[in-house]
Structure 1
Amino acid sequence: MNDEEVRERILVAADNLYYSKGYAAVGMDELRTTAGVSLRRLYAMFKSKDDIVTAVLRRKHEEWEAGIAGQVSAAGEDPEQQLLAIYDFLDAWFCTGTFRGCAFINAFGELGGTHPEVATLVREHKESFQRYVGGLAQQLGAPESLGAQLAILAEGAQSTAAISGDPAVAAVARSAAEVLINSALR
């Protein structure tokens, strides 16, 4: 197995373990076993658990952006439908059966106070999403502030769905987004 394959195995295992059990609960031995690599190889690829956590978060950021962009693109050319597609993405995610909340909120809750790099990555991720939604709002002809409102609504939906276990939260958020959009366009 080459280094790229080993790195991928470690990151997939870490992502799954951290998301299902939490960042602090997963030790290097469990990660090594799940990834099917030796502890020596694990540490040759990543100097510390912090390095793995940040690599997982960077990967999650890329996956999030690709997923959102794909859903928005599939919504067609109508900017309003593109904005609402964000909540369709959330709905599909909440219904996967493995949804455990936002990995970034989870990481910040567990590690943000003691790991400045994690806090920075989480903030950058959230700011990136808000900018993206703001750009979609501007394409609609709405004020950029609508983007901030819709991004916060999506964030709240993620937290509420994780806590309640109810995927219907996405439909409620989508309905609220329609109200915000219509109000902004008046």
Structure 2
Amino acid sequence: MTDTMHKIAAGLERAFAARGFAEPSVEDLRDAAGVSLRTLYKYVPSRADMVLAALEHRHGRYLSHLFDDLPDAPESALDALFDRVAIWMATETSHGCLFHGAVAAEPGSVPLRELLSRHKAEVARRAVEATGLAERETELLVILEGLTQAWTLHRDAAVTSAKRLGHGLRQLEEI
């Protein structure tokens, strides 16, 4: 990704995260990207491409936030993973998953649905690798998704519950 495209994608991500997918005008998105309208359309020729670019950028940031430098010990990694989701929710988006929000705003978009699916699959796969919970991708994803939804209402209690459920999966592995 070029520096210009990175700058555009980062600005678009911030704009959509702050204002949703319907509200920002093209001029608002141009301003958020910090480029001219011509440059914006050169790199992302449609609003749909702008949404996809923003979500691709977010995908990379989210994976990095969750998985970079996790503890090596699987149990510690499991707890750290849930703590990092809570930090993300507190600092990046207190109202839920931006990927789900994009699909909700444009339910017929195949590229958005594919990106959502790829994003969640990558999160689940990397969570399994980090925690040593082989073949528990779906269970871990359900816990992580539940945490992102419950965090807005229950904050620390949601994190505690996610950890309890995650450790319950570990106990099932030991049986």
Into which bin does the TM-score normalised by the smaller protein fall? 0.7 to 0.9
Structure 2: gaps (5+ residues) = none
Shift of 1:66: 1.3
CA contact (8 A) 2:11 2:34 kept: no
Shift of 1:39: 1.7
Does 1:159 find its partner at 2:149?
A: yes
CA contact (8 A) 2:86 2:151 kept: no
Identity %: 24
Does 1:105 find its partner at 2:100?
A: yes
Query: C-alpha separation between the residues in 2 aligned to 1:136 and 1:35?
Result: 34
CA contact (8 A) 1:94 1:167 kept: no
In structure 2, relative to structure 1, the CA distance for the partners of 1:97 and 1:50 (3 Å cut) is: closer
Shift of 1:125: 0.7
Query: C-alpha separation between the residues in 2 aligned to 1:125 and 1:97?
Result: 17
Q: Which residues in structure 2 correspond to 1:29-108 (within 5 Å)? A: 29-70=27-68, 73-75=69-71, 77-96=72-91, 98-108=93-103
Q: Which portions of structure 1, spanning 4 or more consecutive aligned residues, are displaced by more than 4 angstroms?
A: none
Match of 1:24 in 2: 22
Structure 1: gaps (5+ residues) = none
CA contact (8 A) 1:68 1:86 kept: yes
Query: C-alpha separation between the residues in 2 aligned to 1:63 and 1:97?
Result: 11
Match of 1:134 in 2: 128
In structure 2, relative to structure 1, the CA distance for the partners of 1:89 and 1:9 (3 Å cut) is: same
Q: Deviations over 1:136-182 (max 9, x none)?
A: 45x3xx5513x3212211111102224x2x42222221122122322
SS across alignment from 1:144: coil
Aligned length: 174
Q: Which has the larger radius of gyration?
A: 1
In structure 2, relative to structure 1, the CA distance for the partners of 1:66 and 1:36 (3 Å cut) is: closer
Shift of 1:18: 0.5
Query: C-alpha separation between the residues in 2 aligned to 1:69 and 1:181?
Result: 19
Match of 1:180 in 2: 169
Does 1:11 find its partner at 2:9?
A: yes
Query: C-alpha separation between the residues in 1 aligned to 2:92 and 2:54?
Result: 21
Give me the CA root mean square deviation.
2.2
Query: C-alpha separation between the residues in 2 aligned to 1:143 and 1:123?
Result: 20
> How does the TM-score come out when normalised to structure 2?
0.86
